[in-house]
Amino acid sequence: MDQARAFRLLPSVEEALVRLGPRALDLPGGRERATELVRELLDRWRQDLRAAALDEASLGARLAPGAFESAFDAVVEREARRGMVRVINATGVVLNTGLGRAPVHAEVAKAMGEAAMSYVVLEVDRDSGRRSERDQELSRQLARLTGAQAAIAVNNNAAAVYLVLSTFAWGGREVVVSRGELVEIGGAFRVPEVMIRAGVTLKEIGTTNRTHLADYAQAIGEKTALLMKVHTSNYRVRGFVHEVPMAEIAGLAQQRGLPSAFDLGSGLIDPPKAAPLTGLGDEPRVVEAVQSGCNLVTFSGDKLLGAPQAGLIVGTKAEISLLRRNPIYRALRLDKVSLAGLEATFRLMLDGRGDELPVRRMLLTTAESILPRAQALAQALASVPRLDATVVEERSQPGSGSAPDVFLPTSCVRVVARALGEEELLMRLRQGEPPVFARAHAGAVLLDPRTLTDSDARELVRAMAAAVA
Ligand SMILES: *Cc1c(COP(=O)(O)O)cnc(C)c1O
């Protein structure tokens, strides 16, 4: 095939616009947007030609009457679906960072929607009419849930760690951390790098596998500002290892008149009357971290807590108010929508309804109760032509670097499309409406009911039928 001749087949943007006529020019956005979309389509085809993924004959077919118009319509449709749309999470990964981590409870979402649409009591006291703090109620709720004296909320846990460091050790003062705890959390949050950006000096102690209390004691000097412990959320070191419990570090800090902080990552809180989230291995609980006697505990809102995205810091009154007085707090604080969502989540927890939170519900679901759901899904998928669906025993993961060693027993539907490879099927599912995300394993696509609602499952059957059609 002559690729040079194929290139000459491609119309110019002008010619294409003339050909498409009102179909392009009457789009909302008018000529300007139509031009962009046509250019995008032609550029893509040009790239395919260059990569020899398209030849003259196929290009000719794409440019045939009707075909070109449909291709343009598809570009328009895809553009309309860009950005943040609802997806069906069939991965079984409960806290899927790529898919937005924790979905919130319907009542929480409602509270967030109402706050977004209206004025709210944010920084004003209803009785006196005077200015107040925006997270006063949240601080009270978190104190009740964790036993801490006070709390403050920022954008995410990365911001929480940054605020703690910048408040206590800004100006090059030293923060003592064990070498074994200098973690990188997904998305390039590296504890040592955050420390540098927060203007503090990292004082590494111990070795990768073993750190002792004496290492902390020896590291304390003139410039020491803070002793910090970091939970190694997303990995475990095994074998000849030793780490110092927070209680011992906190005790040492107190003796030397220093503050101490514990970055927990996942903020596991078992609310009153809720079934405890057992089966998550050694994942530390916020209550225990508070009881260990450290001044500050930092954790995420949207990991095991199942709340909207936030960085939560609980601790002693004096230290929390120092955080509040740091000018950088202003750049990290939460908006009314997130605060409304957090307050609503904590209200549910304090009302003894913590088990209704979607994240807890999904994590607590047993393999026994998933099995009939997998069987029903497999049966529904049996009606889709060109598809084989069987039920297999599998394992789901909590996700988001929480409890990295923990696998929750589950049953999945194993799907093989007779005419499609598993990667092609996954791609079609992602591009479908609504998009479906699942995982590939050993030549098949696995659908895990753990992260599906019943209505998701029904939509999933339609999405699967469309993907293999
Ligand atoms: C997840 C995690 C963070 C970052 O939290 P985000 O809420 O994602 O910003 C920081 N430290 C630890 C130990 C974590 O596990």
How far is C-alpha 113 from the chain's CA centre? Answer: 20
Please name every residue paired with 437 in a beta bridge, in sequence order, or none if there are none: 89
- Ligand 1 geometric centre to CA of 354 (Å): 22
User: What φ, ψ does residue 253 adopt, rounded to 5°?
Assistant: -60, -45
Question: Do 274 and 351 meet the contact criterion of CB atoms below 8 Å apart?
Answer: no
Query: How far is Cα 63 from Cα 180, in angstroms, rounded to an integer?
Result: 60
Query: How far is Cα 88 from Cα 68, in angstroms, rounded to an integer?
Result: 31
Beta-strand relationship, 88-89 and 296-300: unpaired
Name the residue with the closest Cα to ligand 1, atom 14: 265
Beta-strand relationship, 189-190 and 150-154: unpaired
Q: What is the pLDDT, as a whole number, of residue 168?
A: 97
The answer, yes or no, to whether the previous bond of 434 is cis (omega within 30 of 0) is yes
Q: Evaluate: CB of 233 within 6 angstroms of ligand 1.
A: yes
In this predicted model, what pLDDT tens digit does every residue of 50-100 receive, in sequence order? 998 899 999 999 999 999 999 999 899 888 888 899 999 999 999 999 999
- Ligand 1 geometric centre to CA of 25 (Å): 47
* Other C-beta atoms lying within 10 Å of the C-beta of residue 430: 13
Closest atom of ligand 1 to 231 CA is: 13
Q: What is the pLDDT, as a whole number, of residue 447?
A: 98
Give the sign of the dihedral formed by CA 105, CA 266, CA 158, CA 331. positive
Name the residue with the closest Cα to ligand 1, atom 3: 265
Name the residue with the closest Cα to ligand 1, atom 7: 157
Residue among 95, 157, 303, 338 whose CB has most ligand 1 atoms within 8 A, to mutate: 157
Q: What is the pLDDT, as a whole number, of residue 397?
A: 87
Q: Evaluate: CB of 311 within 6 angstroms of ligand 1.
A: yes
Q: Evaluate: CB of 229 within 6 angstroms of ligand 1.
A: no
Using left for φ > 0, alpha for ψ between -120 and 50, and beta otherwise, residue 290 falls in alpha
Name the residue with the closest Cα to ligand 1, atom 2: 265
User: Helix/strand/coil (H, E, C) string of the chain?
Assistant: CCHHHHHHHCCCHHHHHHHHCHHHHCCCCHHHHHHHHHHHHHHHHHHHHHCCCCCHHHHHHHCCCCHHHHHHHHHHHHHHCCCCCCCEECCCCCCCHHHCCCCCCHHHHHHHHHHHHCCCCCCECCCCCCECCCCHHHHHHHHHHHCCCEEEEECCHHHHHHHHHHHHHCCCCEEEEEHHHCCEECCCEEHHHHHHHCCCEEEEECCCCECCHHHHHHHCCCCEEEEEEECCCCCCCCCCCECCCHHHHHHHHHHCCCCEEEEEEECECCCCCCCCCCCCCCCCEHHHHHHCCCCEEEEECCCCCCCCCCEEEEECHHHHHHHHHCCCHHHHECCHHHHHHHHHHHHHHHCCCHHHCHHHHHHHCCHHHHHHHHHHHHHHHCCCCCEEEEEEEEEECCCCCCCCCCCEEEEEEEEEECCCCHHHHHHHHHHCCCCEECEEECCEEEECHHHCCHHHHHHHHHHHHHHHC
Query: How far is Cα 462 from Cα 432, in angstroms, rounded to an integer?
Result: 10
Cβ neighbours of residue 128 closer than 8 Å, sequence gap 6 or more: none
Tokens 């990995």 map to which residue? Answer: 235
Q: Evaluate: CB of 230 within 6 angstroms of ligand 1.
A: yes
Q: What is the pLDDT, as a whole number, of residue 434?
A: 92
Closest atom of ligand 1 to 301 CA is: 7
Query: How far is Cα 353 from Cα 435, in angstroms, rounded to an integer?
Result: 31
User: What φ, ψ does residue 292 adopt, rounded to 5°?
Assistant: -70, -10
Q: What count of residues does the chain have?
A: 469
Q: What is the pLDDT, as a whole number, of residue 88?
A: 98
Structure-block tokens of residue 334: 């939460």
Buried b (16+ CB within 10 A) or exposed e, 141-176: bbbebbebbbbbbbbbbbbbbbbbbbbbbeeebbbb
Q: Evaluate: CB of 231 within 6 angstroms of ligand 1.
A: yes
Structure-block tokens of residue 443: 């030549």
Q: Quick one: which of 235, 234, 229 has its CA closest to 206?
A: 229
- Ligand 1 geometric centre to CA of 259 (Å): 21
Structure-block tokens of residue 44: 């893509």
Name the residue with the closest Cα to ligand 1, atom 8: 157
Fill in the amino acid letter for 422.
Answer: E
- Ligand 1 geometric centre to CA of 416 (Å): 37
Q: Evaluate: CB of 263 within 6 angstroms of ligand 1.
A: yes
- Ligand 1 geometric centre to CA of 232 (Å): 10
Q: What is the pLDDT, as a whole number, of residue 233?
A: 78
Closest atom of ligand 1 to 266 CA is: 15
- Ligand 1 geometric centre to CA of 300 (Å): 6
Closest atom of ligand 1 to 158 CA is: 9
Q: Kindly give the confidence (pLDDT) of every residue in the chain, 469 residues in length, as a single tens digit, with 9 standing for 90 and above.
A: 577 888 999 999 999 999 999 999 899 988 999 999 999 999 999 999 999 889 999 999 999 999 999 999 989 988 888 889 999 999 999 999 999 999 999 999 999 999 999 999 999 999 999 999 999 999 999 999 999 999 999 999 999 999 999 999 999 999 999 999 988 877 678 888 888 889 999 999 999 899 999 999 999 999 999 999 999 877 788 888 999 999 999 999 999 999 999 999 998 999 999 998 888 888 899 999 999 999 999 999 999 999 999 999 999 999 999 999 999 999 999 999 999 999 999 999 999 999 999 999 999 999 999 999 999 999 999 999 999 999 999 999 888 777 777 899 999 999 999 889 999 999 999 999 899 999 999 999 999 999 999 999 999 999 999 999 8
How far is C-alpha 378 from the chain's CA centre? Answer: 29
Query: How far is Cα 246 from Cα 12, in angstroms, rounded to an integer?
Result: 67
Structure-block tokens of residue 319: 């230290």
Fold of 105-356: Aspartate Aminotransferase; domain 2 (3.40.640)
Q: Evaluate: CB of 401 within 6 angstroms of ligand 1.
A: yes
> Which option is the CATH number for 88-98+362-468: 1.10.730.10, 3.90.1300.10, 3.90.1150.180, 1.10.10.10?
3.90.1150.180
Q: What is the pLDDT, as a whole number, of residue 239?
A: 87
Tokens 């998009």 map to which residue? Answer: 435
Closest atom of ligand 1 to 234 CA is: 15
Q: Where are the domains of the chain?
A: 3-80, 88-98+362-468, 105-356
- Ligand 1 geometric centre to CA of 101 (Å): 12
Residue among 189, 298, 334 whose CB has most ligand 1 atoms within 8 A, to mutate: 189
Question: Do 45 and 59 meet the contact criterion of CB atoms below 8 Å apart?
Answer: yes
Q: How many CA atoms lie within 13 A of 243 on its CB side?
A: 20
